[in-house]
Amino acid sequence: MISGYVAGAIPDYQMSSFLMACYFRGMSEEETLTFTRLMLHSGDVIDLADIPGVKVDKHSTGGVGDKVSLILAPIVAACGVPVPMISGRGLGHTGGTLDKLESIPGFRTSLSVPEYKNVIRDIGLVMIGQTEEIAPADRKMYALRDVTATVECIPLIAGSIMSKKLAEGSDALVLDVKTGRGAFMQSYNCSVELARTLVRIGNTFGKETVAFITDMNQPLGTTIGNWLEVVESVECLKGTRGTNDGSSDLMEVTHALAGSMLVLGKKATTISEGVRLSKEVIADGSAYRKFLQLIVAQGGDASVTENLERYPLSKHSIEVRIDEDGHVGEIDPLEIGLTSITLGAGRARVDEAIDPKAGIVLKKKVGDKTEIGEVVAVFYTDRDEVVESARTRLAKAFRVGPSPPEKRSRILGLIDNAGMSEWTPL
């Protein structure tokens, strides 16, 4: 059926029936593994055996303000672990790594397989989108899942993610499975089930796989929107942000994932040692230099990230203020993500163009003290007609209380082949 669908012999309406049956009935473990194997072998499997080192990738299930890959991949590559990364575009209220990278003028995310291999061989890092050769069944089926409301099905999600990751040529994989209001998988129990399924598939196929469960009940970092997220990423890579500021949670997740990738890549014996190495390559500038190498290798203009102020500005730059004293108790990430789409930072339709300048900068995070009339966010857009509605929606996304909420780690747990363990902040 899958090979027939790729060849065009099985029509969309029959595949839609299959997807709907999976959505309502689920799959057994054996069926999920078989489904993933067939999706994987619907196209080419890239061989990176001639590239030295243990190749390690990372995948996130998506969240609001999640620009971790832009910081993480250069860190890990700077530590000597090759990172072959195949990423996706924005989906729904969550942003996509490819859209963020393409906000850098000239950056190419569509490379041929030979180009993909050459870039990682040359600089130890590559970040592209899904090619025509990799898991074509997933590419075709995903579009159908989107229009048949069958996206949120754990076996189908797992098969989609792992067929691409198994095909890209990496040896090991670290997963960031988001949970909460701003994630696709809002239920904690469902997020854990998805993570366990992904880890089981990866290890069954001989790719050492671990998964972090991370909290997406507020945006990650301080920026939402493609170029804005590149700016925050550059500042974190330069070490000018990420310590005791609004990007601290972003770097907490990034360093933990980096530590785990370095363990899998045989450059560290423990995650804490890997975190130390991750922080060192930020401090000595080598992670940022690796990011510049990536931009140049994939056709981008590195002078723009070297001179961030040169980027064009949006027509509107609007401050959002609140009329309460207290502490920020919640920032609704779903409302923030949906508002960013109306500003032009995301797509309401698959064929809609993105404005790379558009987006939101948070001036307050959960736990911060606020005063009446204080600016909590600034948004950027070229769209005249959305200014007032966006101002109202963003103000309502902030909920203020009399006292600060309990501070908690963004990392809720770690799942490997042995099971789930609690996470102790490093």
Active site members:
59, 138, 145, 160, 164
What is the distance, to the nearest Å, from the Cα of residue 388 to the centroid of all Cα atoms in its chain? 30
Dist CA 151 CA 157 (whole Å) = 7
Quote the CA–CA distance of 69 and 5 in Å, as a whole number: 32
CA distances from 390 to 177, 318, 375 (A): 29, 9, 14
- The pair of structure tokens assigned to 19 is 């997807």
CA distance 81 to 264: 9
Provide the pairing of β-strand 208-215 with 172-179. parallel
| Beta carbons within 10 angstroms of residue 65's beta carbon | 30
Distance CA 155, CA 193 (A): 10
> Look-up: residue for tokens 């390690």?
56
* E strand segments, 23-143: 56-60, 83-87, 125-129
Structure tokens of 159?
């098969």
Cα distance from N-terminal residue to C-terminal residue, the chain: 48
